Structure 1
Amino acid sequence: MTYTTRREFLSALALASIPSILPASTQGRNRAGYSAPRLDKRDFGPVRERILKEIAAGSATGAAVAVVHKGRIIWEEGFGWANREAAVKATSRTPFNLASLTKPFTTTMLMALVAEGKLSLDDPANKYLAKSKIIGTNGNADVATVRQLGAHVSGLPKMFAMYDRNEANLALSSEALLAEYGSLAYPPGSCYEYSNIGFAALSAIASNLTGVEIGPLITQRVLTPLGLDDSFFDTDVTRLSTGAARYDSSGNPIPYYTTATPASGELYASAHDLARFAMFNMNNRDRARILDDRWMEELHKPVFVGPSGVATTFGWFTQHLKSGEQVLFKGGGQPGVATALRMVPAEDLACLVLTNRSDGDELCQSICNEILSSYLPEWRQPEDNSGPSPSPFVITPELSGHWQGTLTNDGMQMQVRLHIESSDSATLQLGQKPAEKIIEMHLEGIGFTGTSTGVIESPDVIRTGAKTLNLKLIPHEGKLVGRILATDSKTVTLPYVLGLKRASA
């Protein structure tokens, strides 16, 4: 048979791969014995058809799905390509990069150290940071706790940076990264900001306590005890060839890269292993190998509750359905990756989707929503965000006027002037350069956000050319404190912290 186009080939592949709906064990029996004859007769056929059509249409490359119910994996399956160029199909045992779904594995490893008495989650993080400590630029750094680092409320800002094979020398150790970017943007506990730097600090703490690097440590303390044999940290280069390749939103392969904060996003895991990790989090099976119920409760306990009711825990997000049942969830996204895991512990129910495309988030969310709604009619899609929703900017006395201060991080200091004139007019001036207009202004709770342009004169900005500037500032003790993120919107988000005082015009 011949195919005249790539689309015809993919369509034929999709149709040829549709078997009857059989138990998960037909695709490869679970070595740990969790797969079993299908007791749940729910029909996942429509979901399978939807995924296969997406792959045939070229709007998805590879995906893997698993559903857990009542202590069993009742469905696990892979679709499309793990590596299209090498003609390797995705299966339920294919390790996919998890991106930020790595974070719960990191916090589980930290909780194991807590259970051993090596640290306390409510101690100051700086107590366990040896060479580089968190710096109190906009708050008392010694107030920031280990628990707050894992719950995104320590006051550390956002960050993302990636390095290809030729840039490996640019990647810093966790301690060195903290020396460059470990400054508080906000007072600890004052507001939510998703922070990969916080997980770099957790990585440094764990390594300081054990003398072991983050990848081997997660393997020793979580993956091996739970028998998650498909999973590995990407520092294990011997196994990278077994993992799913990453593709952009057009289906083009993305060259291999690592990130600035490995503990926040560099674990690979199969759908099968992630389903078993979900079971570990929902019931007692295998818990004794790592954590008893007391420590699992600490892991899942809300730390910061946002205005929508979504709360952060030590590594997870959580909210409640209308019935009052708790939902634990986490997702991940970065170039070539979109992942989602949703759990309802009271129902012993979980759904997860792994994809290897930059634009896979909608597929992940819709599949989880369709499956979980079939069990729970009240199911609503959760949002991985504990911050306030943006609203149109309306100027307030706390924000209006002229402000000035210093921008720091990455070994530089730069003078900044901010002028918020009205609800539709504001400017940002860096150093002696002309002031630039701030657009897309919003309120997030009491905070001011907006977007501008300019060049921050730091080594990393000059190297990456990140010229889009995203501001987030909150009033605090008569000042405005927060950060500016320099970003190119694709591969880098670099944080620079600032505190501004009122100034004359």
Structure 2
Amino acid sequence: MSSVPAHARPSFEPVRNLILRAIAQGKATGVAVAVAHGGSIVWEQGFGWANREARLKATAHTPFTLASITKPFTATTLMALVAEGKLSLDDSANKYLTNSRIQGTNGNADTATVRLLGAHVSGLPTMYEGYDRGEANLALDADALISNYGRLAYSPRSCYEYSNIGFAALAVVASNLTGTDFGALMTQRVLTPLGLHDSFFNTSVARLRTGAARYDSLGNLIPYYTTSTPASGELYASAHDLARFAMFNMKNHVPGQAPFLDDHCVDELHKPVFVGPSGVATTFGWFTGHLKSGIPVIFKIGGQPGVATGLYMLPSENLACMVLTNRSDGRELCSEVCNQVLAGYLPEWQQPEETSGPPTSPFVVRPSFGGHWRGTLANDGAKMQAELNIDSSDLATLSLGDKPAARITGMQSEGVALTGVSVGLIDSPDSLRTGAKTLKIKLLPQEGKLVGRVIAVAGDPNVKNVMLPYVLTLNQIPR
């Protein structure tokens, strides 16, 4: 039973003033917010500019880029196929991947299930790349992306690693089963049945002019771009539509929505898959946590250049809040707005953090890490010899190919993993093209080896950036 009466409604005026101040102070460009409670939308409003240059104001019906809030929509599209009997979430994803398959470099690829792909524990590493209009020819289709980057960095279920590649693979699974382009499939199976008329996938190019433009942290327009993994972040939706989506997830029967998933299927979307030390869990497309009283929270945030979004649902209270912004630095405003709204209903509200990973601590060398390691770094055509030396808790180096060893800085323990940062240029087409030389390392001990990934990073995350994953497998060399 809800602890918030259905008729209860706090004043939203302080939240309006918060948003208006942020816009007046140049800390926001466009903002849209919606609150759903008791099975209806109790507040929805837009503020500022959706597109300042076109003099298009933001409204509750303005489509904003959702960034990673796209992921729950992608998962719901797959769940519609489950409901139709076309697949099982606990089947190996490779069962449905025909032209390209996940490769089991550091784990058994057949145990990377559809469910694990959507819960960031399949063993696939993280990835991101944006392409402006002049680079559209550089973007790989999803099959080619999996072929180039679909290697397991870790054994499935062994650790949490946020993975856009997993959602690219889910899109291929869905398209292979239906013979339909993924954007069209999401529209057919999810957007249209739910009556989300403001929403569209990035392939609906003609509708882009109705959507919010994207701005950097200084309020400068960012030229239109697409990404390497559309199914993980390229849905556009309004605050109004996102509220309708939230009510569907809270099992409300909203007028104009077709019941294409039964309650069991909705529960499968929200069921914890991997629970982190903090108690925050990944699900098939979402994250879940609990307030101190035990009230469950289902949530997802999104962020990329020119985008910061947030959606929080408390199903037991039939309450949800969502905020959309078109600025790179909008994360703090999204949090403030959601926190003020939800604390107005539930004073105990505390926003959960979107990670199921362990906390970090200073690295302390252990026998499973110390010494000299040699192996291979691979992906995107690269197959380079790699050497790692860990001399102490604060001295380690990495060398790739015939290049000199570079020191690893900022070493931390992330649970049993070692993380750190080095520099170097990987001999692969994408790395050479982008000049990605900052190398972010994460390694786990596994069966006497060190396994994991190196993410080659370049660019400004407020405007345009790239994170390319390379899989690392190392064996210890006796001194």
Aligned residue runs from structure 1 range 83-162, under 5 A? 83-162=51-130
C-alpha offsets along residues 407-432 of structure 1, whole Å, 9 cap, x if unaligned?
A: 00001100100011111111111111
Aligned-pair distance for 1:173?
1.2
Mapped contact 1:336–1:356 kept (Cα < 8 A): yes
Say if 2:322 is the partner of 1:352. Answer: yes
Say if 2:425 is the partner of 1:446. Answer: no
C-alpha offsets along residues 197-239 of structure 1, whole Å, 9 cap, x if unaligned?
A: 0001000000000011111111000000011000001110010
Say if 2:207 is the partner of 1:244. Answer: no
Report what 2:228 is aligned to: 260
TM normalised by structure 2 equals: 0.96
Mapped contact 2:365–2:393 kept (Cα < 8 A): yes
Within the candidate set 439, 453, 465, 1:469 is matched to: 439
SS at match of 2:214: coil
Residues in 2 aligned to 1:288 and 1:480: alpha-carbon distance in whole angstroms: 49
Report what 2:476 is aligned to: 502
Q: Could you say which structure has the greater relative contact order, defined with CA pairs below 8 angstroms and 6 or more residues apart?
A: 2
Residues in 2 aligned to 1:383 and 1:165: alpha-carbon distance in whole angstroms: 34
SS at match of 2:145: helix
Aligned residue runs from structure 1 range 243-322, under 5 A? 243-286=211-254, 289-322=259-292
Residues in 2 aligned to 1:214 and 1:54: alpha-carbon distance in whole angstroms: 37
Say if 2:305 is the partner of 1:326. Answer: no
Aligned residue runs from structure 1 range 164-203, under 5 A? 164-203=132-171
Report what 2:3 is aligned to: none
Mapped contact 1:404–1:415 kept (Cα < 8 A): yes
SS at match of 1:488: strand
Residues in 1 aligned to 2:358 and 2:253: alpha-carbon distance in whole angstroms: 37
Within the candidate set 48, 59, 69, 2:37 is matched to: 69
C-alpha offsets along residues 241-281 of structure 1, whole Å, 9 cap, x if unaligned?
A: 00000000010000000000000000000000000000000
C-alpha offsets along residues 459-483 of structure 1, whole Å, 9 cap, x if unaligned?
A: 0011001110000000000000000
Report what 1:400 is aligned to: 370
Mapped contact 2:382–2:426 kept (Cα < 8 A): no
Residues in 1 aligned to 2:361 and 2:192: alpha-carbon distance in whole angstroms: 46
TM normalised by structure 1 equals: 0.91
Mapped contact 2:395–2:407 kept (Cα < 8 A): yes
Stretch of structure 1 that moved more, 227-236 or 370-379: 370-379
Residues in 2 aligned to 1:260 and 1:112: alpha-carbon distance in whole angstroms: 24
Residues in 2 aligned to 1:42 and 1:309: alpha-carbon distance in whole angstroms: 29
Mapped contact 2:251–2:263 kept (Cα < 8 A): no
The one-letter code of the counterpart of 1:222 is: V
Report what 1:15 is aligned to: none
Mapped contact 2:451–2:473 kept (Cα < 8 A): yes
SS at match of 2:117: helix
SS at match of 1:289: coil
Say if 2:364 is the partner of 1:415. Answer: no
Residues in 1 aligned to 2:427 and 2:383: alpha-carbon distance in whole angstroms: 9
Residues in 2 aligned to 1:404 and 1:249: alpha-carbon distance in whole angstroms: 42
Residues in 1 aligned to 2:440 and 2:135: alpha-carbon distance in whole angstroms: 25
Residues in 2 aligned to 1:178 and 1:341: alpha-carbon distance in whole angstroms: 29
Aligned-pair distance for 1:40?
4.3
The one-letter code of the counterpart of 1:386 is: S
Residues in 2 aligned to 1:393 and 1:380: alpha-carbon distance in whole angstroms: 30
Stretch of structure 1 that moved more, 487-496 or 78-87: 487-496
Mapped contact 1:399–1:420 kept (Cα < 8 A): yes
Mapped contact 1:134–1:141 kept (Cα < 8 A): yes
Report what 1:16 is aligned to: none
Q: Which runs of 5+ in 2 are unaligned?
A: 1-5
SS at match of 2:222: coil
Mapped contact 2:194–2:258 kept (Cα < 8 A): no
Aligned-pair distance for 1:284?
3.5
C-alpha offsets along residues 339-389 of structure 1, whole Å, 9 cap, x if unaligned?
A: 000000000000110000000000001111111111112211111110011
Mapped contact 1:40–1:74 kept (Cα < 8 A): no
The one-letter code of the counterpart of 2:349 is: W
The one-letter code of the counterpart of 2:468 is: L
SS at match of 1:497: strand
Residues in 1 aligned to 2:317 and 2:81: alpha-carbon distance in whole angstroms: 29
State the structure with more CA Rg: 1
Residues in 2 aligned to 1:461 and 1:199: alpha-carbon distance in whole angstroms: 22
Aligned residues: 468
Aligned-pair distance for 1:391?
0.9
The one-letter code of the counterpart of 1:86 is: A
C-alpha offsets along residues 54-79 of structure 1, whole Å, 9 cap, x if unaligned?
A: 10111111100111111111110000
SS at match of 2:261: coil
